[in-house]
Chain A
Amino acid sequence: MTRFATFAILAASVLAPACTDDLPPPNTPPPGSTSGGTGDTFDHENNQISPWDLLQRIEVEGPPSYTSHTHSCPKVRYANLGNVLTDLGINASNTTMLSAGELYTDGYNALGGPNFANRIRENIGITISGASREFDIFAAAAPEVIAAFTNQTGAIATRCPGAQLFDTTGSIPTCRPDGIECLIGVPPQTEHVDYCNLTIQNASSPTEGEQLAVAAMLAAAYTCE
Chain B
Amino acid sequence: MAKHPFTKRDEHRDLTRRALIKWSVAAGAALGVSRAKVFDILEKTAGKDTAFAAAQNPTTRSVHIVAGNGGLAWFTQLWPYNSVAAAKNPSFAYAYAGQTTLAPDTDKPLTVGPVTPWATMPGSQQVTCFQCGNNETHTRQPQSVVGLNGSNIFSVASALQSASPSVIPIVTIGDVDIGTAPGGATPANVTDGNAIVGLFNSAASRAGGLLSNTSDASLYKAHYDAFTQLNRAAGTSTTKLAYTTASGAAGFLGTNLSAKLQITQADRTRYGMTGSTRSNVQAIGEAMIVAVKAFALGLTNSVVLPAMDDDPHGAFDGGDINIVPQQITAIFNAFMADLNAAIDPVTMENLWNDTVITIHGDTHKDPLTPGGWPDGTANNSNTVYVYSAGHLMSGWFGDYTPGGGGTAVGFDMNGAAATYNGANTAKYAMASIAYAIAKRDSRAISQFANGITVEGIFGREPTM
Stretch at the interface among B69-77, B203-211, B437-445, B452-460: B203-211
- Interface: A132 (CB within 8 A): yes
A198 at the interface (CB under 8 A from B): yes
Query: A139 to B223, Cβ gap below 8 A?
Result: no
Nearest-CB distance from A68 to chain B (Å)? 6
Does A199 interact with chain B (Cβ within 8 Å)? yes
Min CB distance, B409 to chain A, in Å?
35
Chain A residues closer than 8 Å to B9, beta-carbon distance? 38
In the assembly, what is the distance between CA of A203 and CA of B212, in Å?
A: 12
Q: Are A189 and B202 in contact (CB under 8 A)?
A: no
- Per-residue CB contact flags for chain B residues 223-240 toward chain A (1 = under 8 Å, else 0) read 110111011010011110
Binary B-proximity of A43-85 (CB < 8 A = 1, otherwise 0): 0000000000000010001001001101111110000000000
Contact (Cβ within 8 A) A135 B210: no
Residues in A whose Cβ lies below 8 Å from that of B175: 117-118
Q: How far is the CA of A199 from the CA of B211 in the complex (A)?
A: 13
> Of B168, B195, B233, which one neighbours A127 at CB under 8 angstroms?
B168
- On chain A, the residues within 8 Å of B314 by CB distance are none
Judge whether A67 and B237 touch: CB under 8 Å: yes
| Docked-complex contact A109 and B238, CB < 8 angstroms | no
Give, as a whole number of angstroms, the nearest-CB distance from B297 to chain A.
Answer: 13
Docked-complex contact B186 and A123, CB < 8 angstroms: yes
Task: A134 to B224: give the CA distance in the assembly, Å.
Answer: 13
Q: Which of these binds chain B: A3-11, A16-24, A163-171, A215-223?
A: A215-223
B6 to chain A, nearest CB (A): 12
B199 touches A198 (CB 8 A): no
Which residues of chain B are within 8 angstroms of A106 by Cβ–Cβ distance?
198
Q: Which secondary structure characterizes the binding site on chain B? A: helix
Cα distance, A219 to B245, chains bound together (Å) = 13
Chain A residues with CB below 8 A from B323, complex form: none
Q: Are A220 and B210 CB-contacts (below 8 A) given A126-B245, A139-B204?
A: no
Q: Is the CB of B246 within 8 A of A223?
A: yes
Contact of A136 among B203, B224, B239, B248 (CB under 8 A): B203
Contact between B243 and A103, CB atoms less than 8 A apart? no
Q: Chain B 189-227, CB within 8 Å of chain A: the 1/0 string?
A: 111000100111011101001110101100110011011
Tell me how far the C-beta of B211 lies from the nearest C-beta in chain A, rounded to whole angstroms: 7
Does A152 interact with chain B (Cβ within 8 Å)? no
From A117, which residue of chain B is reached at the shortest CB distance? B175
Is there an interface contact between A203 and B246, defined as CB atoms closer than 8 Å? Answer: no
* Residue ID in chain B nearest A124 by CB atoms: B186
Q: A129-B199, A198-B223 are in contact. Are A208 and B250 (CB under 8 A)?
A: no
A216-B220 contact, Cβ under 8 Å, with A38-B8, A208-B210: yes
**CB of B167 closer than 8 Å to a CB of A:** yes
CB interface residues, A 21-45, toward B, < 8 Å = 38-39
A128/B198 in contact, CB under 8 A: no
CB contact between A220 and one of B189, B227, B252 (< 8 Å): that residue: B227
In the bound complex, residues from chain B placing their C-beta under 8 Å from that of A68 are 238
Are B242 and A223 neighbours in the complex by a CB distance under 8 Å?
A: yes
Are B188 and A109 in touch, CB under 8 angstroms? yes
Cα distance, A117 to B206, chains bound together (Å): 33
Q: Which of A171-218 contact B (CB under 8 A)?
A: 189, 191-192, 195, 198-199, 202-204, 208, 211-213, 215-217
- With contact pairs A118-B175, A131-B249 given, residues A203 and B216 touching in the complex (Cβ less than 8 Å): yes
Chain B residues positioned under 8 Å from A155 (CB to CB): none
Given A195-B223, A223-B243, the answer on whether A73 and B233 have CB atoms closer than 8 Å is: yes
Nearest-Cβ distance from residue B92 to partner chain A, whole angstroms: 37
A224 pairs with B239, CB closer than 8 A: yes
CA distance A106 to B191 in the complex (A): 11
Verify if A142 is at the interface (C-beta below 8 Å from B).
Answer: yes
Q: Does B25 contact A (CB under 8 A)?
A: no
Q: Is A160 interfacial (CB-CB < 8 Å)?
A: no
Asked if B224 and A61 make an inter-chain contact with CB atoms under 8 angstroms apart, the answer reads no
Q: Assess whether B189 is in contact with A109, with CB atoms less than 8 Å apart.
A: yes
- 25 pairs across A/B with beta carbons < 8 Å? A38-B8, A38-B9, A57-B237, A68-B238, A73-B233, A73-B238, A73-B243, A109-B191, A126-B242, A127-B188, A129-B188, A131-B245, A132-B202, A133-B202, A136-B203, A139-B220, A199-B219, A208-B213, A211-B210, A215-B204, A216-B223, A216-B224, A217-B227, A223-B231, A224-B233
The 8 closest A-B pairs by CB, nearest first: A220-B227, A131-B249, A73-B242, A139-B204, A132-B249, A73-B239, A126-B242, A98-B203
For the complex with contacts A67-B236, A140-B209, A212-B223, 14 further pairs of A-B residues with Cβ separation under 8 Å are A64-B238, A70-B233, A98-B206, A118-B177, A129-B167, A129-B249, A131-B246, A195-B227, A212-B219, A216-B223, A216-B227, A220-B227, A221-B227, A223-B228
